[in-house]
Amino acid sequence: MKGPDLNQIDVVILCGGKGERLKGVVKDRPKPMADISGRPFLDILIEHLRGCGFRRFILCAGYKGEMIKDYYAKKPGLSEIMTVLEGNPLGTGGAIKNAGPTVKSNPFLVANGDSFCSIDYRDLVRFHYEKKALYTVAVVKIKENQDGGLVSLDSQDRVTGFNEKTESRGAGYVNAGVYLLDKEVLNVIKSGEKVSMEYDVFPKLTGRGFYGYPVDGGLTDIGTPERYRKAQELLKNVT
């Protein structure tokens, strides 16, 4: 089964990060609104996803969230873009829970608002349905782990371990920040609490229909000044 068309799948974009490590270069705006060649990083991400076929976007905004809401309220486009504001920082899991009532599709896509990964989304959906997965995380193969966690997969691509931070510096898979999730995940996340998908939720989902989808494309993020500078060069021509 190939699953639904992408225009029937909602995209939840996590935009709540404050960007503490970027303060020296991005001072007046939330991290996803950091400038890339004259436009916000978030614009590049949304336009790319729209070009892939997605049409309905839900932006989970926290720090300076009104700036994101106002920007997209004034921006014309063919896509439906809604902003869900957080009263208090909720973490990645709490933000997804907070946006739950706005999500119409099942499954729905989640993407980090500060990273970009080239993915064949139609194939991701096909993979999710063929595996009969409840939760699928896109993972990127790396030769050496610099500063992040590793995702362990078995021979059937089932997730057997999800360690967001690890001392291991060898090769392996890392979280690409893109997830296709069944709405069942909303029952796993507690309401009104600060919850991290990476630390609190995903490690508990192993053995529960949780799969990893290996991606060949590179992963670009704007989490540090150095990565932000690299992203400005890598993404300047992305459409």
Structure-model confidence comparison of residues 239 and 225, the more confident one: 225
The angle subtended at Cα 51 by Cα 62 and Cα 225, nearest 5°, is 45
115: pLDDT strictly greater than 80: yes
Picking from 2-6, 24-28, 109-113, which range would have the lowest pLDDT averaged per residue?
24-28
**Residues 27-38: tens digit of each pLDDT:** 778 889 988 888
Range from 12-26, 183-197, 217-231 that averages highest in pLDDT: 183-197
Mean per-residue pLDDT of the chain: 88
* 35-36 vs 39-40, strand pairing mode: antiparallel
Q: CB under 8 Å to 85, separation ≥6 — which residues? A: 61, 62, 65, 66, 69
**Number of compact structural domains in the chain:** 1
For the chain, give the secondary structure using H, E and C: CCCCCHHHCCEEEEECCCCHHHCCCCCCCCHHHCEECCEEHHHHHHHHHHHHCCCEEEEEECCCHHHHHHHHHCCCCCCEEEEEECCCCCHHHHHHHHHHHHCCCCCEEEEECCEEECCCHHHHHHHHHHCCCCEEEEEEEECCCCCCCEEEECCCCEEEEEECCCCCCCCEEEEEEEEEECCCHHHHCCCCCCCCHHHHHHHHCCCCCEEEEEECCCEEECCCHHHHHHHHHHCCCCC
Confidence category of residue 153, pLDDT binned at 50, 70, 90: very high
In a domain, 166, yes or no: no
In a domain, 167, yes or no: no
In a domain, 11, yes or no: yes
Longest Cα–Cα distance in the chain: 48
The reported pLDDT for the residue numbered 228 is: 77
Residue 101 is part of which domain span? 6-138+177-190+208-234
C-alpha closest to that of 34 among 182, 235, 238 = 235
131: domain CATH number is 3.90.550.10
The answer to whether 17 touches 114, Cβ cutoff 8 Å, is yes
In a domain, 20, yes or no: yes
C-alpha closest to that of 145 among 177, 116, 172, 163 = 172
In a domain, 95, yes or no: yes
**Residues 42-56: tens digit of each pLDDT:** 999 999 999 999 999
In a domain, 195, yes or no: no
HSE of 212, CA atoms in CB hemisphere, 13 A: 29
φ and ψ at 175, to 5 degrees?
-65, 125
**Residues 69-104: tens digit of each pLDDT:** 999 998 877 679 999 999 888 999 999 999 999 999
In a domain, 101, yes or no: yes
In a domain, 51, yes or no: yes
pTM for this entry: 0.92
The reported pLDDT for the residue numbered 78 is: 63
* 172-181 vs 135-142, strand pairing mode: antiparallel
